Amino acid sequence: MRDERKLLGILGVLVAVAMVTALFSPSFVSAYNIENLLRRSALFGIIGIGASLVIITGGIDLSIGSLICLVGCLTPWLITVVGVTPWLVVPALLILATLLGMSHGMLVTRLKLQPFLVTLCGLFIYRGITRGILADNTVGFGTEGSALRALGNGRIQLPGIDGFALPAPLVILIVIAVLSWLLLNRTVWGRHLKAIGCNETAARHCGISVDRVKVGAYALCGLLTGIGGVLFVLDTGSAQPSNFGNFYELYAIAAAVLGGCSLRGGEGSIIGVLIGATLVQVLRNAIVLIDGIPDSIEFAVIGGIILIAVIADEAIRRFTAANKSMK
């Protein structure tokens, strides 16, 4: 019940921010802007889901942005510079991302390292490797792989609507979201994932192989990050290793937290993450569109909104707890 209230709350904030933005900037509701907003939200939604799976176990993944950089830069580099066929490049990079995620999980469970540290090292290592491979040069697709690029920047025309088309990543997100929702809420693995986040000792006492489930969560986060990395670069067409994907892990974590994930673990919903990811993108969009808000304060606004959301959540939690104990 509390979860639903949380979702409604964050949805309310999203609607409010969107309405205010529309009021101040009519171009917010233009077909072009909506389409772009949906595209960005979808891309960040995908990596937000990945982050939330790890956060539900009580862990964290800080390497998301750098892994996006690695996958995002290697995709055009392998296709245009090395000359590998695109249909091999993408699956290979997705497998690589999954394995890297899995390695985070192994380090966390087998060596009992802290997730923060493991993935902080990942953050440095993956970006460093990418910059090394590309010698800090920007890579683009040029004329290659245009069929593939439709996955990122494709537009699916809807019959009878002009000027607006469904962005291809949105379709991919919907598929991923449905699958993740089923995984989290309808499979044994998902149930165990939540149980581990709730109370790891209890999970162990129930005979759940905690380590395997956790490694799975990190691997899936890697895979979703990889998918995000590929789609991001397919959308933009080129990538610069020194800044591609910078801070994306923080957008992903912000989406997860706004969507109701607790960093203590055990809580989180896919729908919440999607709303959270959208809210972050709407905020970024609003700052760009509304005259009078300098673009440079983007981070301050996002940080402020998250802080308010977290404080409100805590206040509501204490209020209900106090109410309950009075009874």
Partner 1 sequence: MKSSGPLIEACSVTKRFGGVCAVDAVSLSIRSGEITAIIGENGAGKSTLVKLLCGVHRADEGEVRIDGQAVAMNGPADALALGIAHIPQELELCDAMSVSQNLLLGSEPIGRFGLIDEDQCLRQARNSLEKVSLDIPLDVPVRDLGHGQRQLIAIARALDGDARVLFLDEPTATLSPAETSILLEQIVAMKTAGAAIVLITHRLAEVEQVADRVMVLRDGHPVASLTGDEIERSEMVRLMVGRDLKPSEEQETTTGEVRLLIKDLTSSAHPDPIQLEVRAGERVALAGLVGAGRSELLEALFGLRNRTGVVEVDGITVPPFDAARSVEMGLALVPEERASQGLALQMTVEQNAVLPGIHRHGRTLGWLDRRAGEQVAKQLVESLDVRPAATDLAVSDLSGGNQQKVVIGKWLALHPGVLLLDEPTRGVDVGAREELHQRLMQLSKDGVAILFSSSEMEEVLALSHRVVVLHEGRITGTLTTSTTSEQQIMALATGGDPR
Q: Is 270 in the site for partner 1 (CB under 8 A)?
A: no
Does residue number 205 form part of the binding site for partner 1 (CB under 8 A)?
A: yes
Contact between 56 and partner 1 (CB under 8 A)? no
Among 48, 167, 266, 272, binds partner 1 (CB under 8 A): 266
Binding track, positions 115-154, relative to partner 1; x by CB under 8 A:
----------------------------------------
188 binds partner 1 (CB under 8 A): yes
Total number of residues that touch partner 1 (CB under 8 A): 23
> What value, to the nearest 5°, has the Cα angle with vertex 56 and ends 245 and 279?
50
Q: How far is Cα 196 from Cα 217, in angstroms, rounded to an integer?
A: 11
Q: Which is nearer to partner 1, 139 or 203 (CB)?
A: 203
Least separation in angstroms between residue 185's CB and partner 1 is 9
Q: Which one, 74 or 208, has the nearer CB to partner 1?
A: 208
DSSP-based three-state secondary structure for 238: strand
203 binds partner 1 (CB under 8 A): yes
CA end-to-end distance (rounded Å), the chain: 18
Nearest to 285 by CA among 24, 7, 4: 24
Choice between 135 and 322, CB closer to partner 1: 322
Total count of residues recorded for the chain: 327
| Contact indicator for 137, 130 with CB cutoff of 8 Å | no
How far, in Å, CA of 78 to CA of 230, rounded? 12
- Do residues 241 and 141 touch, judged by C-beta distance below 8 A? no
Shortest Cβ distance from residue 3 to partner 1 (Å)? 9
Please give the C-alpha separations between residue 151 and each of 50, 145, 187, 275, in angstroms, as whole numbers.
Answer: 19, 11, 29, 22
Binding site residues, partner 1, CB under 8 A: 182, 186-188, 191-192, 194-195, 198-199, 201-209, 266-267, 324-325
